[in-house]
Amino acid sequence: MFNRGFAVLAVVLLAVGTLSAEEILDLKVPAGLKPLKIPADNPLTEAKVELGKQLYFDPRLSGNNEVSCASCHDPKHGWADSKDRSVGVPGERLGRHSPTIINAGYQRFQFWDGRAGSLEEQALGPIQSPAEMNMNLDTLTKKLNAIPGYRNQFKQVFGTEVTAENIGKAIASFERTVLSGNAAYDRYKAGDEAALSEGALRGRKLFFGKANCSACHAGSNFTDNGFHNIGVGIDLAEPDVGRQSISKLSGDRGSFKTPTLRDVDRTAPYMHDGSMATLEDVIEHYSKGGIDNPQLDEEIFKLDLTDQEKKDLVLFLKEGLASQNYPMVEVPTLPE
């Protein structure tokens, strides 16, 4: 399906001569997803996405030339990390598990605590973080400008030499193409009654009913884009306060962004701290009603699911939400 929102934007840009027809990316949004909104100041083009992909996989964006965006958001691990907490340039574990990049273009806020309001802003955050990629942006722009392949591509795409702003725009453009849809659930909704097995159908009924999962994992991307306290890690001596660190509101203590469930079977371990190794662990947590605390979300309560109900829910998540066209991307040839 062609992105109608981008089509309108492209017509405007063509009219003022900013883009040529050859540059416009005909982004195919998988079945089950809504049209993807593209920022007016960062239109999608083939060349920009290709540049963003190279930057995403290039470890030279880090201070030690060893860590790339893909190091912690790996396509082979659901565009997340197989570790409970990722390892940054200093060689130490970070405070949180890396969230998936899948369908991040649909998210209103980025990072577990929502501290970034756009993918462009998000893309530059880990690069500058001393604990993650540990690279000064001024140093990075000089570094990339010294690489002819990058310098030429930035001039082609943006009409300038490498700038920090355009690094963020290129990476964000690539990340917007990492889309997961066309799952068995989508085909079932479209009328294919054989798309889901009997067990997965029972799990679907639980997901939208007794188990109350859809209270937060709502919409086509299976997230309400909100922040919720489900008790994970709140019982530690010094808990991660999550969204409260940004909002400064006591009611946000221990709240974290609702992740998408698209291709969730690939993104283990789970939760902001990677403390749950399997989907079975996740379902058990919710069945018990989370971990009690003053800010526990009102949608979290004891479910007392049977063993069969737990199995059916896991089956729906694994079978029903796995994309038929998973966005696997291999490491590209990097500029020299």
Task: List, as one string, the DSSP characters of 266-298.
Answer: GS-SBSTT--B-SHHHHHHHHHTT----TT--T
How does DSSP classify residue 251?
G
Helix (H, G, I), strand (E, B) or coil at 59: helix
Q: What gap in Å lies between CA 13 and CA 139, rounded to an integer?
A: 33
Q: How many residues does the chain have?
A: 336
Q: Is 132 known to be catalytic?
A: yes
CB 253 within 8 A of CB 241: yes
**Kind and range of the H or E run holding 144:** helix 137-145
First to last CA, the chain: 36
The set of residues, in sequence order, having a beta carbon less than 8 Å from that of 192 and lying 6+ positions away, is none
Cβ count within 10 A of residue 231: 20
Q: What gap in Å lies between CA 240 and CA 226, rounded to an integer?
A: 17
Question: Strands, DSSP E only, in the chain?
Answer: 227-228, 256-257
Residue of 23, 132, 309, 319 marked active site:
132
Question: How far, CA to CA in Å, does 44 sit from each of 123, 138, 187, 335?
Answer: 16, 25, 28, 21
The set of residues, in sequence order, having a beta carbon less than 8 Å from that of 237 and lying 6+ positions away, is none
Question: How far, CA to CA in Å, does 258 sit from each of 110, 272, 311, 334?
Answer: 11, 10, 22, 34
Q: Would you please indicate which residues are annotated as catalytic (active-site) residues?
A: 132
